[in-house]
Structure 1
Amino acid sequence: MAIEYKEVPHEVLAIAQELIDQYHEQLKECKIGFVFRSEASISGGKMVLGTTGKVTEKIKPLLSDELDILIVLAEDQYALMNSLRRKALIDHELCHIVNNLNTGGWTTKAHDINEFKEIVERYGLWSYDLMNIGEAVAKAYQLEMPAITEVTFEHKGQVVTLNAESRRKLEKTLEGG
């Protein structure tokens, strides 16, 4: 099947505007466009849920609106996401956008970390970037991932398995409710 690109529904634009107002005020002047790609691409053996790129001079004549940045979302994967995961994906893509202070134009930046799971398993949070992410992860709320139905922990010889329902009960107990 051929890959197709199409307009995103208004919901995507509304989520993006909400996120810009709440977390990305610096992007209020940036002209950002969104499109759906019919299927997620694969890069480096991993599914690509979204990409963010600067609109180049070569592409500008093909667009009806003048844009600085174009965000492409994988429609097939977006359709499978709940509202929080959709918001996380759009927020992630918005985090790539920065104003280049040297040129005054909009551009993109790379992720804060680029590391292999095996290196973290062997050496822990060995770099400052990983330490910063580790702190953020420790404070973060974990969205439920649809493919993960349960998690098993082992501590001091005791094994505990939590599914989504038992996790919710534990959280409620810890919160005093």
Structure 2
Amino acid sequence: MGATFTLSEEIDVVVKKLVEQEKEFKILSVAKIVTRFRTGTWYTRGKLIYAKTKILSMYERFEMDAEILILVNKRMWELLTDQQKEALIFHELCHVEASVDKNGAPRNSPNDGRPVYRLCSHDLEEFKLVVEKYGLWRPDAQEFMDSAKKGEQLTMEFTPQNHKKEPSSNVIHLRAK
């Protein structure tokens, strides 16, 4: 079965809450963010995709009257707790930052005058095998671990262990460490 897409007021509520409450997302207060559930098998390089964020092209902005699209794997969403759903959307919003000119001023589109955004990479780019063998050898890895220790740690565990197949009746357990 191919992918299908549906509207999601539930995701919209979480996006709105985070943009209003979290100082990290102040730049998104004027953004038009479209959210959709995606159904169907969704893997990239053998890894299950929970969600994706896309900065819309100028044409897509025109067609959708928005700057940002957040697609969420509906099947996974239904398995998450409310706190995990919020963490997932927080993660996706962290991928967005304001596009700036050479002077550091926010850029606006010449077509509609609305802000222009760009995708932001993850803070940590490392393989677990490297960390297992060499430890936290990079400063960004150590900074990441220091941040992880600051707050309550949540772990999502799947049953069964093989993530390469579409989960059918998997249960996600939330465990505070």
When the two structures are superposed, what TM-score results if normalisation uses the length of structure 2? 0.76
- Which residue of the partner structure matches residue 48 of structure 1? 49
Structure 1 portions without partners, runs of 5+: 149-163, 172-177
Which structure would you say has the larger Rg?
1
Over residues 32-74 of structure 1, what are the superposed CA-to-partner deviations in whole Å (9 max), with x where a residue is unaligned?
11111113521122111111111113434542xx111111111
Q: What amino acid does structure 2 have at the position aligned with 1:75?
A: K
Q: What amino acid does structure 2 have at the position aligned with 1:55?
A: L
Quote the Cα distance in structure 2 between the aligned partners of 1:137 and 1:108.
23
- Which residue of the partner structure matches residue 174 of structure 1? none
Q: What amino acid does structure 2 have at the position aligned with 1:37?
A: R
Q: Aligned residues: percent identity? A: 28
SS at match of 1:59: helix
Q: How many residues align?
A: 150
1:59 aligns with 2:70: no
Aligned 1:1-177 pairs, distance under 5 A? 1-8=1-8, 10-23=9-22, 24-39=25-40, 41-63=42-64, 66-102=65-101, 104=107, 105-147=116-158
Quote the Cα distance in structure 2 between the aligned partners of 1:100 and 1:40.
32
- Is the CA contact (8 Å cut-off) linking 2:61 and 2:67 kept in structure 1? no
Deviation at 1:20, TM superposition (A): 1.0
- Is the CA contact (8 Å cut-off) linking 1:7 and 1:36 kept in structure 2? yes
Q: What amino acid does structure 2 have at the position aligned with 1:72?
A: L
Structure 2 portions without partners, runs of 5+: 108-115, 160-172
Quote the Cα distance in structure 1 between the aligned partners of 2:61 and 2:33.
13
